[in-house]
Each structure stands twice: as C-alpha cells, then as structure tokens.
Amino acid sequence: MGTTVDHRRAPRRRGAVLKQAIFEATLAELSEVGYLNLSMERVAQRAHTGNASLYRRWPARAELVIEAIRHVAPDDAELPDTGHVRDDMLALLRGLCTLLAGPAGEVMRGVIAESVSNMRANLARTRLAETRTEQFLAILRRGAERGQVHKEAATPLLAGIAPALVMHHYLLHGAPPPDHRLLEIVDKIIMPLVTTAAGPAAT
C-alpha cells in the first residue's frame, strides 16, 4: 500500500517550476502504471501538489499527458540539422519511433481510444498531431531555403504525411515501423513529392 504524501509540507512552487514537477510526475506515473491506470490524484501526490492545481490547468488526463509529452519533444532549435532535408526527416522519424517504443506509445493508443467519446481527449490528440506536423514543416521550410525541396512543398499537408504513416503502422501493428520502412517512407514517398516540382533535389 502506497504512502500518502502531504504536499502541504513541501516548499510552495509556482509557474514553470510547478509545471515541470507535474510533467515529470506524469511521465513517471505513465512508465509505472500506463495510461489506462493513470490518475490525476496520483500525479498530484507524486508532484507534491494539490489536485486542484492539476484540474485547474488540465480538466482531463488526456490534456495533461499530451502536454507532458509535448514538453519533452524537441523544439525547433533542437530539430535534426544534418545539412540535408532527407537526412533531417529520417532522423526526426527515428526519434518519433523511439518515442512510440516507450510509455508515449501506450499514451497514444489510450488517448485515441478515449477521443472517440471524449471531446477533450480528441482536442488533446489533435494538438499532438499538430506538434508533429509543425516539426516536419520546419524541416521542409529549411530545405526550401537551401534549395533542396521546392518552396511550395513546405505545407502542413505534405509535412503531415510521414508522421501519419508512422502512426498508422504503429496503430496497425502495435510497434513502430522498422528502419527499412522509414527509409521507404522518406525515399519513395516524401522526397519524390517535395522535389518533383522543382526537379532533382540539390545536394
């Protein structure tokens, strides 16, 4: 039986410090009990804060776990930058597969299942998909600046194709796609789409 933690005895934290503690507690709980067994109360205990602090910011657990995952995702400054858009996209896809192979993968399945009947879970799922698309869009825009892809290829529609294919494989097979499948996605689908209009990609 777990020991109850009295968060009132811990130092009072606010703002970014408190959010960081909550995100860390959320990810730790996910790794131990999984998404379906995660409770807001246990996260609050682990973060040494009150339930109200969580529910005031995240009325549903789907919103909390998605924001926690987004918090550890790379921002634009941390995106792969190998010098070529093809290698950058491949590196980003490999990073997504690594994420799916951990607790985040179970979260994805849980949130998708919950989103069928829960509007807040559906909105959280949409925000996560938008984050993935924005990362790939940033890489396409950088590739366009280098002349490696056509400037009109840097669109949310094209940027969303590769991560959507990875998620489809994951949901269908219960595991991230193998590396040879990632190479096929990049070399046989994405690169032809983003370079056809401009001719061969610059090297």
What would the pLDDT profile of 81-121 be if each residue is shown by its tens digit?
999 999 999 999 999 898 888 777 777 777 777 777 777 77
CB atoms within 10 A of CB 37: 11
Check pLDDT > 60 for residue 198.
Answer: no
Q: What is the pLDDT of residue 69?
A: 78
Judge whether 176 and 169 are in contact, CB under 8 Å: yes
Give pLDDT, residue 35: 80
Give Cβ neighbours of residue 144 (< 8 Å, ≥ 6 apart): 150, 151, 153, 154
What is 7-57's CATH number?
1.10.10.60
Torsion of CA 89, 91, 95, 100, to 10 degrees: 60
Q: How would you class 129 by CB atoms within 10 Å of its CB: exposed for 0-12, middle for 13-18, buried for 19 or more?
A: middle
Is the per-residue pLDDT at 191 higher than 90?
yes
The residue behind tokens 């509007």 is: 119
Can you give the pLDDT at residue 4? Answer: 47
**pTM (two decimals):** 0.72
At 5 the pLDDT is: 45
Helix axes 61-72, 103-115, angle to 10 degrees: 140
Mean pLDDT of 146-171: 93
Tell me which fold the domain 67-198 belongs to.
Answer: Tetracycline Repressor; domain 2 (1.10.357)
Instruction: Give the relative orientation of helices 85-100 and 119-146 as an angle to the nearest 10 degrees.
Output: 160
Tokens of 183: 């190479």
Are 62 and 124 in contact by the 8 Å Cβ rule? The answer is yes
Instruction: Read off the pLDDT band of 77 (50, 70, 90).
Output: low
Q: Do domains 7-57 and 67-198 have the same CATH topology?
A: no
Q: Could you tell me the residue ranges of all domains in the chain?
A: 7-57, 67-198
Instruction: Tally Cβ neighbours within 10 Å of residue 104.
Output: 22
% of the chain residues with pLDDT over 90: 43
Query: What's the confidence (pLDDT) of residue 13?
Result: 53
Distances (CA, A) of 192 to 35, 157, 200: 38, 15, 9
- Could you report how far apart the first and last alpha carbons of the chain are, in Å? 60
Q: Alpha-carbon distance 167 to 101, whole Å?
A: 12
Rounded Cα distance, 112 and 179, in Å? 25
